[in-house]
Amino acid sequence: MLAHLCTTSLTLYILWITMAQVDGQDDKEKTTALKDLLSRIDLDELMKKDEPPFTFPKTLEEFEYAFNEDGQLRHINTGEPFVFNAREDLHRWNQKRYEALGEIITQYVYELLEKKCNMTKASLPVDASEDEPTSFIYLSPDALSNPSKLLVLIQGSGVVRAGQWARRLIINQDLDSGTQIPFITKAIEEGYGVMVLNPNENYLEVEKPALSSTLPSPTELSDEPAEKRERKEDKESKKKKEFYGKYRNPQKETETERIPIRENGSSEEHVLYVWDNFVSNAAAKNVFIMAHSYGGLSFVELMNQRDMQVKNRVCAVALTDSAHNIWLQETSKGTQDWMQQHCCNWVSSAEPLDTPLEAVLPDCPRVSAGGERSAYITCKPAVLHTARTQQGCVCV
């Protein structure tokens, strides 16, 4: 900021000196001299800002935010909600700050699962070596031993981790809106074992090592035609130049690479792995599944892979704004018929709760979630009621 002000002041000073020098000339000559001077000043460069370093607080307290008694994130001094645009015209920095807060929120929700819900982590893969990347899910104390009923929660895609439905809602609304905590506590009260999946924890991200100068570049190893590769490189170079040109001193991001977690490299792999190693070993006679958005797609893929196992164990499935597609996922007629009987998809809608909606595909009934907000929020009473009424069902 100081450098920016100094540069601006220097430019104005030069302009003032120049105008003083032409003070004795007539108006036409003055105008010509001024235009000549302005033509030599890069105003875009003059208005550029220095991009601040990507260094952010590591705790909520350092961010000066806290959750109040209503579960709302508020500034500890002003009581105001979180402000995304902390610095004007610095979108990338604001986004990085938001992501840093999101990582803190993730750890906060883990603490709630452990302290408030009395859940424990179970590592994945179950036979992981000491030096390979791992993930985890959360289990209630009786998740594997409860003889009667087990609730399995699967969230959608993106940055959300175990215990979360939507990070945005946690930050901008409250914990009840954005986390799975209300479902978990209610289910435990009603005697369910609970299993919280973590389908988006698919890899370990590590900093890329510096490449040796003796190693060939990735482009040298590419099978792409040279002309096509050059066009792609020119396009990427132009894109980077346009972006970094917005700032006088842009911050360079650390280059990283992702190491996949074995047998958990995608949401679909994760759900299948948890089924094979945890759900199938659980004692519960009846398994009830709730899946949101992409979690619904992952569940349907599980059915494609473990058709009879799912039909024999799962009593009912509550989907919310599910992203599945039985045609693209090539589900069998038998699976579609089973879904008609055992699944229900609550969809964000202005219609009253549980109002039947027009079917899009011949798989499972679609009903209104009772509001335009995220379906898992507004349909919570209906989902839990469905779980209760399906406890005595006969699995097919």
Q: Which residues are catalytic?
A: 293
Q: Tokens at residue 211, please?
A: 């490449």
State the pairing for strand pair 193-196/203-207.
unpaired
What is the Cα–Cα distance from 312 to 322, expressed in whole angstroms? 22
Cα 177 from Cα 376, distance rounded (Å): 9
Joined tokens for residue 257: 């690479």
Q: How far apart are the first and last CA of the chain?
A: 68
